[in-house]
Structure 1
Amino acid sequence: MNFQVTGLALDKMKLDSPHSFLDSEEVEEAEDQQLLEPEAWRTYMERRNVLREFLTTDLSPQLLKRHHARMQLLKKCSYYIEILPKHLALGDQNPLVLPNTMFQLIDPWKFQRMKKVGTAQTKIQLLLLGDLLEQLDHGRAALDALLEAPDPRPFLAGWGLVEQQLADLSVVMDNFLAMMVPGHLHVKHRLVSDIGATKIPHIRLMLSTKMPVMFDRKESVAHQDWVSLRWFVTIQPAAPEQYELRFKLLEPRTQQECTQCGIVPVAACTFDVHNLLPNRTYKFTIKRAESYTLVYEPWRDSLTLQTTPGPPEGPAPRLGEPPAGL
């Protein structure tokens, strides 16, 4: 009995091939190595490893993803002016003047001007943060494409530019991280007028950030004619805060239904809204109560809930009885 084996010569050729046990990446690397002299190849691999290390540590996709998430959070935050004394006047033995006391000494008109400056500075800071983050995204994409380029010769020839890109992106990252924290407000004029011999410490104005107020979508529930609302702040404030809850009926059908709306001041993180219409859709928004020091609040959370249907109109027919009117 004779068995005919086909393809044996081809299999032997594959086994004899020097690349038979190499994966595709190793094959490509071996082909690239043939384009360079041994010394140039060693230099290429060293520089390639430097670039790879930068892209996996200093500018990794995971790091950029976290920065994007923080950027989205900053766009939802509220921004305030915080008044702090720099130091006491020389020789002053009085206790430190508290911020609440300082408000009584500050010129209201000048303070309103500073609030406008704070609003503009916050908007500019958020725009710059977005621009810096975009530079990091584009820079990483360009370097990643260079790392994956098939021909090593342009990589070696342009290494000086690559080094400059790495340095520039490091500076961009440093600027981005530094700008993530709101800073000083630049005061051109004194906010406190001279008031005789009273010694007033120099005032330092800072921009402070408060985390956004958000509805708890799992705990906020609609019933037939009322809703139970819950909200929270990611970082709990040191002192209790005041909130402003707004609600309104969507798509009112009569003039009277247009009155199904309101603004409710709340001193807690929970509230029940009663006397609503059954089987209707309402929109709720939550924010912090207005503050004298608020300079910018670009976002507020909203929630849409539908109340449950009410009981059927009229008495239900007993089992076995025809509906009324038949």
Structure 2
Amino acid sequence: MDEVSTSSAESEAQAVSRSQMGGFPDLYKQIQQLLCTSLSEHSFMVRQEELRLMQRSSFYLEIRRHDEHENHPRLSDTKLWTLIDKQRLRSVMTMAYERVELLLALQELLYEELIEGCRELEDFIAKYDRGLAGGDAAAHAQQRFLQTCQDLSDFESRMTRDAAKLYLQHKLIPNNGHSPRIPLSASLIIKLPVMINRLKSCVTSNVVHLYWEDSDMQPDDLKPEEFQVRVKSLPQTSDEQEEVAESTCRSYDLKINDLKPNRHYEFSVRRVDTMTLVRERWVDTIVLGMLEKDAST
């Protein structure tokens, strides 16, 4: 008799709980759909990789004319560069760096908020399925649902790789009566990190053929750029000094000759620094062991 009474009481409690959900008829289904799509485990893996790539990306300052077309000069144009006030440009570079740091910090916070939102929504679904979600829990879940949807929108919009405009407090070309009046605008552009192709790169006893690429570019989409390749010979004993050599190239591969057999070398690849580089914190590095002389013959 006691078991029947207990079971009846639980059923009544669940019925009361579900009746309290009458004001939120679609909330349960909306949360379930969100958890199966934008908040799925796969979606978080993709989002985490996007955030990692953005944190490793290079950020550059781009200066353009307001009315720029293909035939108008850019910052790289020598004549335009000589007109720009260097002190004002440094100020803009500082502002751009602070903007990048803020952007990355906000993206990290949004990602953490999405994880917390997912946890709370999953907890609500579990309580609802057990008939333990009352009106207060439903109201909180609805608020969290709406906030999580907004966080998703903010996260995705800030992950764009398009230029982000910067507000110029002062004209980069001072009006001294001698310089032409050229209206300029400043933007941040993002270049994804350079990644060494570990599957394609190959090694013999004294030669390494190193390949690299932009993180999400196909081989046919690679644009000509100048890269810096650094080769460091790792000491075999505590008394031995490391040897470092650097070279530049305008291709996405480099053949490095005259290495010593049966040794380890550290290779790193990055874009060559330019005056418009705002932030670069990560450089891809790989350590490769040279084969023994007999093994390559």
Note the C-alpha offset of 1:129: 0.2
**Cα 1:126–1:163 shift into 2, 3 Å:** same
For the residue of structure 1 that corresponds to 2:241, the secondary structure is helix
**Cα 1:239–1:102 shift into 2, 3 Å:** farther
Q: 2:18 touches 2:133 (CA, 8 Å); kept in 1?
A: no
Note the C-alpha offset of 1:33: 7.3
For the residue of structure 1 that corresponds to 2:80, the secondary structure is helix
Separation in structure 2 between the aligned mates of residue 172 and residue 38 of structure 1, nearest angstrom: 29
TM-score normalised according to structure 1 size:
0.75
Matched, 1:280 2:263: yes
Note the C-alpha offset of 1:123: 1.6
Question: Which residue pairs with 1:292 in the alignment?
Answer: 275
**Cα 1:38–1:115 shift into 2, 3 Å:** closer
Identity %: 21
For the residue of structure 2 that corresponds to 1:123, the secondary structure is helix
Q: 2:213 touches 2:222 (CA, 8 Å); kept in 1?
A: no
Q: 2:233 touches 2:244 (CA, 8 Å); kept in 1?
A: yes
Question: Which residue pairs with 1:202 in the alignment?
Answer: 183
Which amino acid is 1:276 matched to?
A: L
Q: 1:230 touches 1:271 (CA, 8 Å); kept in 2?
A: yes
Matched, 1:148 2:126: yes
Note the C-alpha offset of 1:45: 6.5
Q: Residues 133-282 of structure 1 correspond to what in structure 2 (within 5 A)?
A: 133-149=111-127, 151-181=130-160, 183-196=164-177, 199-233=180-214, 234-235=216-217, 239-253=223-237, 258=241, 260-282=243-265
Separation in structure 2 between the aligned mates of residue 133 and residue 148 of structure 1, nearest angstrom: 23
Q: 1:33 touches 1:41 (CA, 8 Å); kept in 2?
A: no
- Say which of 51, 69, 74 aligns to 1:98: 74
Most deviating of 150-159 and 209-218: 150-159
**Cα 1:155–1:105 shift into 2, 3 Å:** farther
For the residue of structure 1 that corresponds to 2:106, the secondary structure is helix
Separation in structure 2 between the aligned mates of residue 107 and residue 65 of structure 1, nearest angstrom: 45
Question: Which residue pairs with 2:5 in the alignment?
Answer: none
Which amino acid is 2:42 matched to?
A: Q
Separation in structure 2 between the aligned mates of residue 274 and residue 284 of structure 1, nearest angstrom: 13
Q: How many equivalent pairs are there?
A: 276
Separation in structure 1 between the aligned mates of residue 43 and residue 242 of structure 2, nearest angstrom: 49
Which amino acid is 1:275 matched to?
A: D
Note the C-alpha offset of 1:245: 0.4
Question: Which residue pairs with 1:107 in the alignment?
Answer: 85
Separation in structure 2 between the aligned mates of residue 131 and residue 85 of structure 1, nearest angstrom: 35
Q: 2:124 touches 2:137 (CA, 8 Å); kept in 1?
A: no
Separation in structure 2 between the aligned mates of residue 119 and residue 307 of structure 1, nearest angstrom: 40
Residues 64-109 of structure 1 show CA distances to partners (whole Å, capped at 9, x for unaligned) of 2221111011112111001122238xxxxxx744332432221112
Note the C-alpha offset of 1:51: 2.1
**Cα 1:111–1:32 shift into 2, 3 Å:** farther
Query: RMSD over aligned Cα, in angstroms?
Result: 2.8
Which amino acid is 2:226 matched to?
A: Q
Instruction: Return the index of the structure with the highest Cα Rg.
Output: 1
Task: Give unmatched runs, 5+ long, in structure 2.
Answer: 1-9
Task: Give unmatched runs, 5+ long, in structure 1.
Answer: 1-30, 89-94, 313-326
Most deviating of 77-86 and 145-154: 145-154
Q: 1:85 touches 1:202 (CA, 8 Å); kept in 2?
A: yes
Q: 2:63 touches 2:74 (CA, 8 Å); kept in 1?
A: no
Q: 2:96 touches 2:188 (CA, 8 Å); kept in 1?
A: yes
